[in-house]
Structure 1
Amino acid sequence: MSLLSPILPALKVYYLAVTVILSQLYQRYRYGFSLPAFSSQHGNVAIVTGGLCGIGFSTAKHLAKLGMHVIIAGNKEREGQEAVKQIKEETLNSKVEFLFCDLASMKSIRQFVKEFKKKNYPLHVLINNAGIMMIPQRKTTDGFEEQFGVNYLGHFLLTNLLLDILKQTGSSSHNARILTVSSGTHYVGELNMDDLQSRHCYSPCGAYAQSKLALVLFSYQLQRLLAAEGSHVTANVVDPGVVNTDLYKHVFWLTKLVKSLTSWLLFKTPDEGAITSIYAAVAPELEGVGGCYLYHEKIIKSSNVTYDEDLQRKLWAESCKMVGIHNVINKVIST
């Protein structure tokens, strides 16, 4: 194993971050970041994972402002209830709830779905937003590398367990929508099908980029399967850009210093970072449109490898084995 093996992914990720930040600066001063006006979403129901803070909180808040019934899925009860209270006060929308869901635990995800289904709600929008970034090597409750387990496998299982409700909710005139928040780091990510758990050579940056790449591959495969089945459900990927959130706890100390001094200028605010997620959730021009990668409210090309249908199928099959569900799109294991 080369001494550079753990270092190269970090160099790639930081180089990419610089290019994204420069792109954001251009966007900010040329066009600005603003949320388009959308019609009322009263009567629609959305689930937002990781809605306690950052991009997820801003996404949940703006959807609530549009009149949507929002369920925040998170792993901290007290913070969840505080988020609900704050959103209710700011939006005057009483239909905001918190349900506990720890994406690091397959058992917790199944329990969340069970509790949600007890409510007999429809589900118009699922936003797979939660994530962790560049953490030291550690494992989830189920023994998965934590970034791959939380960022990718947790959302893979959650989405599959909610597909039946999404399909029942979607119609030819109003498709249900699945939005998965990835990252520009997927462009430098490498998917190692022989070592998805990064056991042989762990790099915090490499594992993070791999998890974000997996999310794009998963979303495209999901869209292809849903379209082939004729379901009124679409799946898209959202790239929020470089956003000033709490995700940077484990980055290199110099990066933390630069962030603390320049984030007001170089990084998007959480509200700005949430704009593309909100756009993808409610924009009428995206009705029935799936299999897209969205950045700055535009459809752009993701990395070449994400369009590899064979790799999409392989990852899907392996993911089904890992989380214990059947590899059939229209058969969701009972919770």
Structure 2
Amino acid sequence: MPSSKFSPDSIPSLQGRVYLVTGGNAGIGKQTVIGLATRGAKVYMGARSKGKALAAIHEIQEKHSSADIHFLELDLSSFQSVIAAANRLRAEEPALHGLINNAGIMGVPYSLTTDGYESQFQTNYLSHWLLTHHLLPLLQSTAQSSPEGTVRLVNVTSDGHAAFPPPGGIRFDDTGLEKESAMMRYGQSKLANILHTVQLNKRYGPASVGAGNGAIWFAAVHPGHIDTDLNKQATGAAPGAILRAATPIMRCLGVLDKQEKGAWSSLFAIASNDFKGANSGAYVVPYAKIGTPSELARDESLAEKLWQWTETELGAKGLLGQQ
């Protein structure tokens, strides 16, 4: 895939900064954790399994002894777990310089979470929206006391946002899409990640807040076609089955890149000096380049409608004011 001149080695020192990476124990998330920690940052690894997270932290620290990484219990299939994780982080840290909403599932069979939402829509979108909501006060206060551009947020999306969503983008009267394909449910959730980014930038980005007044910089990142466990997860109907079958072939042909490359665009958007305030709200494509998302992803009225729907949906459950 095309690449800019960006390299993780070009990221400046992140000494004294604090980051949270969801899904940080494996795949692209793990490589993102490594990229931040090896530049001196303190990194929280958001993960559902304590055992897997601690094993990943141990593995990283064996190679990078100075890496400052901490496990944060976070199960995105549970809203209460999301709120508890945000509250713990806010209690432990006076500042948060970056949030990378990285975790995700793809192409899995239809199922509902304990909260009653389709698993991909909650894991990939709703829970990250809720996590962001509860961490925004900490991000904002950090931005107000930090140099411009220090505090940033990345939502990891996919080019699946363009390939697979339902007609109209978001089916508000049936977000579960039970009768549709697993990949359509995935595409809807990944489109929602970009629309979320658009609204965050509109409400809290440089153009809204004003440069130097506590603005947060935002990006939606398509990491690339990377050889990760997501390809094994795709156990729903075709094209999930096709993807699983094609993965070994794509790997041999070099179509799937290594996991290290998958973290490049996230690291670029969250910490590089080459990502500017003017880029806030952008769609970042492989590798570390500003791209153009689908027409639906650029629909500001759809982004506003999704924000209002989500705020109403989660607010009605009493989840927005919980501390």
**TM score, norm. by length of structure 2:** 0.88
| Equivalent position of 1:302 in the other structure | 293
1:115 positional shift: 1.1
**2:171 counterpart of 1:183:** no
* Contact 1:175–1:232 (8 Å) recurs in 2: no
Summarize the alignment of residues 13-28 of structure 1 with structure 2, pairs less than 5 Å apart: 24=1, 27=2
| Equivalent position of 2:175 in the other structure | 196
1:87 positional shift: 1.8
Look up the equivalent residue of 2:311 and give its one-letter code.
Answer: C
| Equivalent position of 2:261 in the other structure | 272
- Listed one character per residue, the Cα deviations across residues 137-176 of structure 1 (whole Å, up to 9, x for unaligned) are 0011101000001000010000010000000111353431
Q: Structure 1 residues 97 and 315, CA, compared in 2 at 3 Å: closer, same or farther?
A: same
1:34 positional shift: 4.9
User: What is the number of residues matched between the two proteins?
Assistant: 303
Gap runs ≥5 in structure 2: none
| Equivalent position of 2:195 in the other structure | 217
How many Å separate the matches in 2 of 1:274 and 1:64? 13
Q: 47-56 or 31-40: which moved more?
A: 31-40
Gap runs ≥5 in structure 1: 1-23
1:46 positional shift: 0.6
**2:278 counterpart of 1:286:** no
How many Å separate the matches in 2 of 1:257 and 1:94? 37
* Contact 2:38–2:67 (8 Å) recurs in 1: no
Q: Structure 1 residues 79 and 273, CA, compared in 2 at 3 Å: closer, same or farther?
A: same
1:120 positional shift: 2.6
- Listed one character per residue, the Cα deviations across residues 167-205 of structure 1 (whole Å, up to 9, x for unaligned) are 011135343100000000111323212211214x23101
| Equivalent position of 1:262 in the other structure | 250
1:234 positional shift: 1.5
**2:149 counterpart of 1:166:** no
> Alignment RMSD, CA only?
2.1
Once the two structures are aligned, what percentage of the paired residues are identical? Answer: 32
- The structure richer in helix per residue is 1
- Listed one character per residue, the Cα deviations across residues 43-92 of structure 1 (whole Å, up to 9, x for unaligned) are 11110000110000011011111111000001011001111112222222
Q: 78-87 or 91-100: which moved more?
A: 91-100
1:216 positional shift: 0.3
How many Å separate the matches in 2 of 1:203 and 1:181? 22
3-state DSSP of counterpart to 1:191:
coil
Summarize the alignment of residues 1-335 of structure 1 with structure 2, pairs less than 5 Å apart: 24=1, 27=2, 34-170=7-143, 171-188=146-163, 189=165, 190-199=169-178, 201-227=179-205, 228-230=208-210, 231-249=214-232, 250-251=234-235, 252-264=240-252, 265-288=254-277, 289-295=279-285, 296-324=287-315, 333-335=321-323
1:325 positional shift: 7.3
3-state DSSP of counterpart to 1:284:
coil
**TM score, norm. by length of structure 1:** 0.85
1:262 positional shift: 3.5
3-state DSSP of counterpart to 2:122:
helix
How many Å separate the matches in 2 of 1:136 and 1:49? 22
How many Å separate the matches in 1 of 2:155 and 2:139? 15
Q: Structure 1 residues 175 and 254, CA, compared in 2 at 3 Å: closer, same or farther?
A: closer
